[in-house]
Amino acid sequence: MKKFYYSAIMAALLPVVSHADIYISEVVEGSSNNKAIEIANNGSSAVTLDGYKLASEYRNSWYNTYSLDGITIQPNDVWVIAHGSASNEVLAVADATYSSYMMQFNGDDGLALLYNDEAIDVVGDLFDMSYNKDVTLRRCEQTLSTVYTEWQWEVLAKDTFDNLGQYSEADASCVAPPAPTAPAEGEFTVASIMELQGTGSRSPVLEDGSYTSDQVYLVTGIVTAIQAGRLGNDLPTGYFIQDADGDGNPLSSDGIFVRGEVSALLNSGSDATQALAVGDEVQVYAKVTESYGWTQLIPEQSEGFDLTFATGNTGQITATPLRVLASDETIQDTYERYEGMLTRIDQESDIVIARTFGFDYGSFRNNMIAAHGGLLFQPTQKNAPGSEGAQAVVESNAQRQLYIESFAKAPNGVVPWYPEFGRDSGTGTSDSYLRIGATLDGFEGVLSYSYDAFRFFVTNEVDNSNFIYTHVPDRSASPEVDRGDLTIATMNVLNYFNSPFGGDDNPLNDNRGAEAFDEFQVQRSKIVAAILGLDADIVGLMEIENNGFDTDSAVVDLVSALNEQLPAAKQYAIAKPKDAKFVGSDAITSMVIYRKAKVGLEKIDILAMPRQAVPEEDYPVYFDGDYEDFRPTTKYMRDTLIPTFQINGPREKTLSVAVNHFKSKGSTCWEDLQGGYTDDNGRRIYKVEDADLQGNCEAFRTAAADYLGEQLKEYHGYRIIMGDLNAYATEDPLLVLTNRDNAPAGYSVKAGRNVKVGREELTGNGGEVIGHSYGYINIVPELHPDTISYSYNEIVGTLDHILISPDLHSYVKDAADWNINSAESTLFQYEGQYTGDLPKYADPFRSSDHDPAVLSLDIIDAIDSNVNAAVVGDLISLPATPVGMPSASTPQDGESYRAVMDLTQTGVNSLAVGDIVTLVVSDMNRNGVVTQSQVAHVQLTEQQIAQGWVAHSFKAPVVGDFVTETYYKDTQVSEQRSTVAEAGSYGETNGAGSSGPWLLLSLFGLLLFRRRNA
C-alpha cells in the first residue's frame, strides 16, 4: 500500500517545531558500498547538531546510530556522511565517513534523524518496507516528517551522485496525488461494529472458508487507541474504534481494529486531511477480514488514501470492565467478547500475573503474561506424569493466558505502561516492581488476537497501587514462617563463580557466572542479602563454583562477605568433607554452611551419585540435515553432600541432611531419543519427546532418587533430603522418595537403563521398574499446597524441596518457599546485558532463579543443669573474678575434653537463672572451614552464676589444631586455639565446680584469647 500525505499535514505533525530547519535531504543506496546520507539546513542561521543522531533500523527499532554532536551546518548548506568504502566520487563530497552498522543499510532499512533519541525525520520505516533499493532519493519537499511520504521524494537511478553535497531549493517536480472519492450509494452497506463482530469467534458476515468479505461496509466509531507503526508481525499500523453507544448485548463486542493509516484521516466534505486522534469519530469504508482469528476492518482506498473520514465529532469511550459470564464455556469465550473493545481489568476480573515483563520469543519483543483465575501450574506439580489430570492442566493453562502488551517495542529495562518500574524508592531498593501472582487492578487497554493468544494492549499508565497480592505473597524482608529453634534452608546461588576475578580454578576451568566484576559484586550483594534474610542455621547451597575450600574459593568468598554482616554467634562455618579438594568434578557443586554455635557437625560425607552409561552402539544416531549432529555420551549426576549434625540436649539427636542438585530437564538422556521417524533416505531421525510432561532425563533422575533413598538408610537419626531435585512435586523421583498418593492405580515408575555407581550396575539394559517408595514427607507443599519455587516462562511449580523423614514430622514448626526469585522480574538479576539503565540493588529479590525453601523445627534442648524452675529469671550477681575455676591442662587423643567458660567475661554484672550460654569446640581454620564441631547450650543455675564459670565435657577433637569458643547471646565471649596431643590423660571436673586439672588453652606455645563485651 503506497503512502501519500500532504506536506501541510506533515508540518503539523512535527514533534518539535524548532528542529524544522534540519532534515534528511538525500539518501544514496547504490551499488556495493555506495551509501550516503545528506542532511540539509534550510533555515536562516547555523545549527550545531548537539543531541542529534542518524539512525538505521534494526529489528523494528532505531538501534544503529551515529552521533552528530559537534557538527555545525551553515544556513542553506548540507552535510554528507558516506560509507568508508564508497566510490571516490561519493567520498569526494563526504564530510565524514563511517563503515559500521548504521551505514550498512539496505533498501528495506528505515533511516531516521533523531534528537534526544526521538525520531524527528524518517525515510522509509521501522518495519522492513522496501523503499529505496538501488536508487538515490532526493527530497523535493523541504519539510521533515516522522512518516515517510513517497511523493515527497524524487527517485533517481542507481549511483546518481550529481547533486550530492549541494544544497537545493524545493523542487516542484513532486506533485501531490488527486483527492480521493468515497464509494457511491449502492457500493457499500451501512453496518454497526456489533453486527460485524457478532457473538462468535468469526464475523457472521463471512462465509465458511472465507477470510475477507466481498461486501464493503460503512462503519462508524470512536477512536480508542492508535497504533502509529507496525509492531512486529502481528500488530499492523492502524487504530481501534468502538461504537459510541453499543447495543447492550454483552455477547457481542462493541469495538474493532481498523488496519490502516493513522496520519492522513480525510475530512468529510473536503479534500484536506488531518492526523488521527483518540476521541475522533470516524466513518470507515472497509471490508471485514479474519486475520488469524482476529476480526478486523481493512479500509478501501482511493488515490492512495484509506477511505476513513473524520466526521468532526468527538466522543469519549469508558472502558468496560472485563467480566466472565455463566454462558462462557472457557475464558477464551470471555476474551472474545471483548475483542477490539476498550476494556478495564480490575480486581473482580481476576487476571493475575503469570510471567513478569520479559522477552517473548514468539512475538520477539518484551511483554508480560497474565492468566485468569490464578497461577499457571506445571501439569506435574499436582498430577501424576502423563495422567488425564496433567493433560487437563496443559489445556487449561493455554486457554487462560492473556498477554499484556505495549504499543511500541519496549527498550531494555523499561516497562512502557509502568514508568516507575524498578526506580529507586530512596531506600536502596524499588517499591515499583512486578511479581507473579499479583492481581491486576486498574489496567485499561484494547484486546487483539495473534500468535494463537489474546493480547491486551495497555492504554493507561499504572503504578504499584495497581497490583493486589492474592495468589503469591508480596515481597517480605524474610520468610514468613513461624520460627522454632532450628531453621534449615536450601538455596540456589545462580552460578556463583569467583574464578574470573582472582579466585581459584574449578576442575573444568569454566565460567558459568558473572562476566564482569561489577556484575559479580551485584550478585554477591544480592545473595548475601538473601541468606541474611533467610536467617537459617543450616543452609544447603546449589550452583556454587566447585573451586575448593581455600582462601580464594567461591564458598569462602561468599561466607566471608556474609559473616561481615553478622554477630559472632550467628556467623557461618563451611562444612568440608575431610581431605576433599573438590566436591565432584563439575564446574558447579553443592556446599553446606552452618552456624556452629547452634549445631555440631559430626561428619560430612560425599555420596558419589549414579551415571547413565548406555553402550555407545545402543545410542540412536540423531541426524540434522545431511550430517550426524548428535550422539549423547555418558550422563552424570552431581555428587550429594551429606553432613550429619549433632542437635544437643538430653537425648543427643543427630540430623543428616542430604544436599542435592539432580540432572536438569534440559539435558538429553537415552530414553528421550526413542521417538522419531524414518526419512526418505531410510535414516532414523530421532527427536526429543516429552509425552509424560516430566522433561528430559526423568528416568535417570528416578534412578538417582532410588539410589539416594537406599543409601540414606545407613544414616541413623533424623534425615532430610533437600535441594534442587529438578523434578516437580508429583514426578517420578518425588514419588519414589515420598509416596504415591497422587498417582493413579497401576501407575508404573521406571528407572533409566544402564545406571551405574562406580562399577556397580544399578539397572540393566531394560531399566528397572521401582515399586517402592521411601516415605519421606515433602513438607512445604504439605503445609502450603499451592506453593511455588520456580517459574519456567509462565508456568510455575516447585523444583526445590525439603523432604523429611517421618520421625522428624512432630518437630516441624513451619515450612515455606520464600518467593524472592521465581515471582520476580528477571530484569532485577545481576546481569546488565538486557536491562538498559535499570538500577541494580543489593536486595534479595531475583538473587537467583530458584526460591529458597525453609524448614523451621522445635528440636533443640538446653543441657539439663538441674535448674530450679521456681527461680528461673531471677538475677544473680556475678563475682568480680571466677571462684574456684579449674586450671588448664592439655587434651589428648582418645580422651574426653572438658571446656570451661568464664562468665565474668560476658561484660554484664549479673545473669538470670535459666539464661543460655554456648560452648563450641571445632577444627575450624582461618577461612571458617570445618570438618568437625561440637556444641553445648548450657542453661545456667544459681550456683554456676554465683561461681562465675561453667564447664562442659566434650568428646576429644581429633589430633591436631582446634578452637574453643564461648558465646553469650549473640556475642562471642572467648576464642582459644589449641592442639590435641597424641597421648596422656588429664582429670575430670563437673559443671558444679568440683576441682581437677582443666584446659583453658594450650597450643604448644601459641595462645589466643579474646574477650568480647556483651
The grid cell for 589 is 557443586
**Position 948 confidence tier, pLDDT thresholds 50, 70, 90:** very high
pLDDT value at residue 232 = 82
Assigned C-alpha cell, 507: 576442575
- Indicate whether 624 pLDDT > 80: no
Compute the average pLDDT of residues 78-97: 97
Per DSSP, 983 falls in state S
Q: What is the pLDDT of residue 722?
A: 98
Hey, what amino acid is at 931? T
Question: Is residue 363 within 8 Å of 234, Cβ to Cβ?
Answer: yes
pLDDT for res 987: 33
pLDDT, residue 997, reads 32
Instruction: Quote the DSSP letter at residue 981.
Output: B
Residues 240, 263: Cα–Cα separation, whole Å: 14
Is the separation of the CB atoms in 456 and 443 below 8 Å? yes
Which pairs with CB-CB distance under 8 Å and at least 24 residues apart come from 232-235?
232/60, 232/363, 232/364, 232/365, 232/409, 233/363, 234/363, 234/448, 234/450, 234/451, 234/455, 235/405, 235/407, 235/448, 235/450, 235/455, 235/457
For residue 832, give the amino acid letter.
G
Whole-number Å distance between alpha carbons of 305 and 151:
13
Edge-to-edge strands of the sheet including 486-496? 812-817, 853-857, 486-496, 538-545, 588-594, 573-575, 929-930
Residues contacting 494, CB < 8 A, separation 6+: 513, 523, 527, 543, 829, 847, 848, 849, 850
* Residue of higher predicted confidence among 663 and 144: 663
The CA-to-CA distance between both ends of the chain, in Å, stands at 81
- Higher-confidence residue: 269 or 169? 169
Virtual CA dihedral for 581, 582, 583, 584, nearest 10 degrees? Answer: -130
CA separation for the pair 563, 560 (Å, rounded): 5
Model confidence band, residue 150 (pLDDT cutoffs 50, 70, 90): confident
Average pLDDT over residues 952-971: 87
Q: Mean pLDDT, to the nearest integer, of 62-80?
A: 95
The DSSP bridge partners found for residue 350 are none
CB 482 within 8 A of CB 814: yes
Query: Which among 257, 280, 281 has a CA at the least distance from the CA of 197?
Result: 257
52-64 pLDDT, tens digit per residue, is: 999 998 866 788 9
The strand pair at 916-922 and 61-67 is best described as unpaired
Which spans in 881-957 are helix H? Answer: 942-947
Q: Is 863 helix (H, G, I), strand (E, B) or coil?
A: strand
The arithmetic mean of pLDDT across residues 111-118, rounded, is: 92
Q: How are beta strands 640-647 and 653-661 bridged, if at all?
A: antiparallel
DSSP string spanning 527-583? Answer: HHHHHHHH--SEEEEEEEE---SSTTSHHHHHHHHHHTTS-GGG--EEE--TT-S-S
Q: For residues 530 and 820, what is the distance between their CA atoms, to the nearest angstrom?
A: 8
pLDDT of residue 784: 97
> pLDDT of 767-785, one tens digit each?
999 999 999 999 999 999 9
C-alpha cell, 710: 537406599
- The reported pLDDT for the residue numbered 273 is 65
Does 993 score more than 50 pLDDT? Answer: no
Classify each residue of 563-586 as buried b or exposed e, where b means 16 or more C-beta atoms within 10 Å of its C-beta.
Answer: beebebbbbbbbbbbeebebbbeb
Q: Round to whole Å and give the CA distance between 725 and 705.
A: 9
- The whole-number pLDDT of residue 862 equals 63
DSSP letter assigned to residue 318: P
Per-residue pLDDT tens digits for 888-918: 556 777 778 889 999 999 999 999 999 999 9
d(CA 743, CA 387): 8
Q: What is the pTM of this model?
A: 0.85
CA atoms within 13 A on the CB side of 720: 31
Residue 246 has pLDDT above 80, yes or no: yes
Give mean pLDDT, residues 129-151: 85
Please give the sequence-ordered ranges of beta strands (E in DSSP) within 46-188, or none if there are none. 47-48, 52-58, 61-67, 72-73, 77-82, 96-97, 111-115, 118-123, 135-139, 153-156
Q: Choose the weakest-confidence range: 137-151, 466-480, 824-838, 868-882.
A: 137-151
Kindly state the cell numbers that stand for 256: 474493532
pLDDT, tens digit, 9 for 90 and up, residues 509-555: 999 999 999 999 999 999 999 999 999 999 999 999 999 999 999 99
CB 672 within 8 A of CB 696: yes
Q: What is the secondary structure of 462-479 as a DSSP string? A: --GGGEEESSSPPP-SS-
pLDDT at residue 955, rounded to an integer: 83
Lowest mean pLDDT among 109-118, 437-446, 656-665, 845-854: 109-118
Determine the average pLDDT of the residues in 653-668: 94
Q: What is the pLDDT of residue 695?
A: 94
Residue 766 or 624, more confident: 766
| In the chain, % of residues over pLDDT 90 | 74
User: What are the distances in angstroms from CA 888 to CA 201, 306, 379, 986?
Assistant: 89, 99, 64, 10
Asked if the model's pLDDT at residue 305 lies above 70, the reply is: yes
> Do 239 and 226 touch, CB atoms closer than 8 A?
yes
More confident residue, 872 or 889: 872
pLDDT band at residue 172 under the 50/70/90 scheme: low
Task: Tell me how far apart the alpha carbons of residues 105 and 466 are, in angstroms, rounded to a whole number.
Answer: 43
Secondary structure of residue 32 in the 3-state scheme: coil
Which band of pLDDT confidence, cut at 50, 70 and 90, is reported for residue 8? very low
Residue 678, pLDDT above cutoff 70: yes
Q: Is residue 137 scored above 80 in pLDDT?
A: yes
In the predicted model, is pLDDT for residue 276 greater than 90?
A: no
> How far are the Cα atoms of 211, 244, 247, 848 from residue 197, in angstroms, in the given order?
13, 15, 12, 46
Closest by Cα among 521, 580, 480, 421 to 842: 521
Residue 4: pLDDT band by 50, 70, 90 thresholds?
Answer: very low
Q: What is the pLDDT of residue 560?
A: 98
Average pLDDT, the chain: 89
For residues 100-109, average pLDDT: 91
Q: Which three cell numbers stand for residue 721?
A: 533430603
Q: Is the pLDDT higher at 129 or at 922?
A: 922
Three-state SS at 670? helix
pLDDT, mean of residues 730-743: 96
With a cut of 80, say whether residue 130 has pLDDT above it: no
Strands 677-678 vs 684-685: parallel, antiparallel or unpaired: antiparallel
Instruction: Report which of 560, 568, 538, 763 is spatially closest to residue 670, judged by C-alpha positions.
Output: 763
Q: What does the block give as the cell for 603? A: 561428619
- Which of 118-127, 209-218, 353-362, 788-797 is least confident? 118-127
Q: What pLDDT is stored for residue 11 in this prediction? A: 34
Q: What is the distance between the alpha carbons of residues 335 and 449, in angstroms, rounded to a whole number? A: 9
